Amino acid sequence: MKIPCPLCGARDSREFSYLGHAGLLDRPAPDAGDAAWDDYLHNRDNPAGVTEDLWSHDYGCAAWVVVTRNTATHGILSSRLAKDGAA
């Protein structure tokens, strides 16, 4: 699997570490309440199909990358820098 880093180009997935769904970028406010934090920390949509998830290019430029992929086929559709925010 090659992950397209917006800065470095397509690189071997071993250069990256995986965090989880890109929804982790939408961190609730500190006072958002227990239900919001429980949902953020634990629950996932977990789609069988197209998803967006967070990969860190540890052994490259160290950027966090949002990758749009298909979990059913491992096909990779697109990527963008996480610091650019939501799509």
Q: Tell me which residues in 68-87 interact with other proteins (CB under 8 A).
A: 69, 71-74
* Among Zn ion, other proteins, none, partner that 58 touches (CB below 5 to 8 angstroms by kind): none
In the bound complex, what is the minimum distance in angstroms from residue 60's beta carbon to Zn ion?
4
Is residue 3 within 8 A of residue 56, CB to CB? The reply is no
Q: ∠ CA(57), CA(39), CA(78), 5° rounding?
A: 35
Is residue 43 within 8 A of residue 35, CB to CB? The reply is no
Q: Which residues bind other proteins (CB under 8 A)?
A: 1, 12-14, 17-21, 34-35, 38-39, 41-49, 51, 53, 69, 71-74
